[in-house]
Structure 1
Amino acid sequence: MFKKLFKQKKEENIVAPVNGKIVPLEEVPDPVFSEKMMGEGIAIIPEDGKIYSPVDGKVIQVAETKHAIGLVTEGGVEILIHIGLETVGLKGEGFTAKINVDDEVKAGQLLMEADLEYIGEHASNTITPIVITNSAEGKKNYHFTSEKTAKAGETVIITAEDK
């Protein structure tokens, strides 16, 4: 009983994976994200196509079409970085993966290069949702930044805290 009472709550910071303008997930023009069907999160309208790891962790998914990357932290936070909207239809065109499934990554490590010009011309939007896919488990509290501008690898966009 006392262990639980005096246990220190662990916090994990999730930094911006891309430079750009931060917007609430509710503003993403796709109900899968805006209605949080995949989980809680935040989105960034990218300024450039370099996508970096927002955490120290492990790559658990690289979509065959390279438009999405799944990561898990040591603390069990599962993160999906979804580059653009309706980008699955690009079949990998415009994306260059720099990592593979099961790779250990460090915050700030380059994960993917995305051709934003190509994506902007061939998909519906370049906005990039960053979603905590296991947020519905209720094991952690998530706090989202009020910052408006993201600097990749520096701006803390989400803090995950043990309940």
Structure 2
Amino acid sequence: MFKKLFGNKEKVEQLLAPINGQVINIEDVPDPVFSGKMMGDGIAILPEEGLVVSPIDAEVIQVFHTKHALGLRTKHGIELLIHIGLETVNLKGEGFEVHVTEGQRVKAGDKLVTFDIEFLKSKAPSIVTPIVVTNGDLVEKIEKTDSTQANIKETEILKVYVK
């Protein structure tokens, strides 16, 4: 009744693909930390090129010194981790170039990181890139894309409903 009278005040965050590539279920990521959702729930993409853009308007809250991952916070407080490849922390930043700094505000589609995809393929166990919500306590539910292909700024990969 309240929603009917006053309108739906539901808070929803819509994330667009930050990478062009094949969509993979988080449960199928070949790393138990991600597949077991220990870091949080989300989706993964097998990149076709070495470009990562922001999936949503957000603040950059963490840039790992090894350049392989970064954290974003959306306007409703949802925190996202974009982790490029698996065990890529061991590369100590080699093959990555970060284009943002902590505290910077970004818009959906802004360039975050570029990476040498061939170098990563040769040095990392996998280039699968998980995109996860790390503060699931704020989440009512997550709807995931049923698309098998992700296209930057086009494919909505996640819809996050905030409590």
Do residues 62 (structure 1) and 63 (structure 2) align? yes
Deviation at 1:12, TM superposition (A): 1.2
Report which stretch shifted further, 139-148 or 55-64: 139-148
Do residues 152 (structure 1) and 152 (structure 2) align? yes
Deviation at 1:138, TM superposition (A): 4.7
Do residues 27 (structure 1) and 28 (structure 2) align? yes
- Aligned residue identity for 2:150: A
Deviation at 1:162, TM superposition (A): 2.9
Q: 1:100 to 1:138 in 2, by over 3 A?
A: closer
**Residue 120 of structure 1: aligned partner:** 121
Q: What is the TM-score of this pair, normalised by structure 1?
A: 0.94
Q: What is the TM-score of this pair, normalised by structure 2?
A: 0.94
Name the % identity: 50
1:1-163 matched pairs, under 5 angstroms: 2=2, 6=6, 7-135=8-136, 137-163=137-163
CA contact (8 A) 2:40 2:133 kept: yes
Mapped to 2, the partners of 1:34 and 1:160 lie a distance apart of 19
Figure out how many residues of one structure are paired with residues of the other and give that number.
162
| Per-residue deviation, residues 18-47 of structure 1 (Å, max 9, x unmatched) | 000001000100000000000000000000
CA contact (8 A) 2:139 2:160 kept: no
Structure 1 unmatched runs, 5+: none
Q: What secondary structure is seen at the aligned counterpart in 2 of 1:54? A: coil
- Aligned residue identity for 1:142: I
Deviation at 1:10, TM superposition (A): 1.7
Mapped to 2, the partners of 1:80 and 1:159 lie a distance apart of 15
Q: What secondary structure is seen at the aligned counterpart in 2 of 1:107? A: coil
Mapped to 2, the partners of 1:141 and 1:123 lie a distance apart of 32
Mapped to 2, the partners of 1:111 and 1:149 lie a distance apart of 20
